[in-house]
Amino acid sequence: MLFDATVIADGLLGLPSARTGVYRYTKCLLQSMAAVGHEFPFEQLIPFLPCAERPNRLALSAELLEIQSPQSVDFCGPYLPQVFVNTILALFGKRITCGIERGIQFVVLWQQLNRLLLSARTDCIYFTPHALTPALSRFRRLKRVICIHDLIPVLFPEYCHDWSIKFYSELRLQLPDVDGIICVSEATRDDLLRWFPALSSKPIAVIPHAADACFSYKTNPNDTSILMELGLSRHSYILSVGTLEPRKNLGTLLVAYSKLVVRLGGAAPRLVLCGAASGCDLALQDQIQNLQLEGKILFTGFVSDEFLSTLYRYAICFVFPSLYEGFGLPVLEAISSGTPVLSSNHPALVEVLGEAALTFDPIDSNQLSMELERLITDKELQQHQRLLGIDRAKQFSWQSSARRTIDFARSLRCLAP
């Protein structure tokens, strides 16, 4: 199986705040597929970059060293000697140098793919966790499988950048040629088929995400120091995690929280908003001022997994008012951490949580406020939801998702003539 690792390489070279969502999915899935590889002795896992610059390729090569599996192979082609690269850079600049490197890489990749396909008894699989490489469609014995995470640019274009809207427009032209589709939830599959009904004839598998092992109810020796660094104490705050963007519906959460503060006064816990900033954070600051919530709200910005796991573990509860999710990884991370969850009743979130969370209408601030008060003031309810959540989280694992991904890919093969 050829595993397109472009997302990992790009994430490794980007800002830490970019290492969310699809990046986390891709890295965890690749690691888990390598870990369960011994269960599929006739499968070869080949992470590769169809087209990338030298820094991306070097970053991926370094990352692959952490995956303890002989099945993981660098399939990126040769590097040009650094002396030659420096000479070309001096003469023609970075753009032409990168073009030469990519051209050589693609020729080598093309040759290696042809050699691989000629030697294989069955069709080979090209799996991409995000974007298809059009040039690979020329290989007839290369079965193409793509993972669809959500349809946000289709359903909520007003919340998206132009580039993401364009990406989905191009994807719609490519999807008829894929051999199989993986969706991360039944809700995402339903959204996909409403957007593109003709795909109903394609093999589609629903294979969920999982939470990283660091998100656990088990304590970490650094928990106390992390909380102190953030100015927090154990079980003294309400937590919400997600990028500060309109789709996450934090404005409704702030209104609901302000009503809670009016009722409980000084007894109301602080509200911690954890996530990377976006274009709407200034509007949130204005809303906080208008609601007179200064001093009650803590913005942490993007934090490391170690900090995030501590925040989950010691929150009174986790609240997630999102208007739309393809899966909703933060709610799974929260229940894995033993934290009671109060979630929007969006179908994907209900699908992930089952009966392990309290839910609310994400546009009803009154309902959200009352449910928040009920959860933070009822210790027995907190413990009940905590146990339900921990039990529910056991149904998700990256190794299970890796096995199901490999099995689905294998089912698409046919014997070569």
The pLDDT-based confidence of 11 (bands split at 50, 70, 90) is confident
Each residue of 329-371: pLDDT tens digit? 999 999 999 999 999 999 999 999 999 999 999 999 999 999 9
Q: Could you give the CA distance from residue 286 to residue 37 in angstroms, rounded to a whole number?
A: 52
- Three-state SS for 228? helix
Q: Are residues 21 and 148 in the same domain?
A: yes
Question: Which pTM was predicted?
Answer: 0.88
Q: What pLDDT does 120 receive? A: 67
> Cα dist. 126→102, 201, 209, 278 in Å?
20, 20, 20, 34
Asked if residue 206 belongs to a domain, the reply is yes
User: 199 with 246, same domain?
Assistant: no
Cβ atoms of residues 342 and 318 within 8 Å: yes
Say yes or no: 402 and 389 in one domain. Answer: no
Is residue 328, in this structure, part of any structural domain at all? yes
Residues 310 and 334 in one domain: yes
Average pLDDT over residues 40-54: 76
Kindly report, residue by residue over 67-76, the tens digit of the pLDDT.
654 344 455 5
The answer to whether residues 231 and 375 belong to one domain is: yes
Check residues 209 and 160 and name the one with the higher pLDDT. Answer: 209
Residues 195 and 238 in one domain: no
Confidence of residue 416 (pLDDT cuts 50, 70, 90): very low
- The candidate with the shortest Cα–Cα distance to 382, out of 395, 371, 393, is 371
Same domain? 243 vs 285:
yes
Q: Which residues contact 186 (CB under 8 A, 6 or more apart)?
A: 206, 347, 351
- 369 and 405 share one domain: no
Report residue 15's pLDDT band, with 50, 70 and 90 as the boundaries. low
pLDDT, one tens digit per residue, over 172-208 is 999 998 999 999 999 999 999 999 999 999 999 999 9
Residue 325 lies in a domain: yes
- What range does the domain containing 81 cover? 2-210+398-411
Are residues 194 and 316 part of one domain? no
Q: What is the CATH number of the domain that holds 129?
A: 3.40.50.2000
- Please state the domain count of the chain: 2
> Across the chain, what does the average pLDDT equal?
87
Pair 237, 136 in one domain: no
The whole-number pLDDT of residue 172 equals 93
pLDDT at 70: 38
Residue 218 lies in a domain: no
What is the band of 326 on the pLDDT scale with cuts at 50, 70, 90?
very high
Same domain membership, residue 402 and residue 389: no
Neighbours of 214 (CB within 10 A): 16
Domain assignment of residue 417, yes or no: no
**Residue 215, in any domain of the structure:** no
- With beta carbons less than 8 A apart as the criterion, state whether 358 and 386 touch: no
Do 256 and 331 sit in the same domain of this protein? yes
3-state class (DSSP) for residue 136: helix
Residue 355 lies in a domain: yes
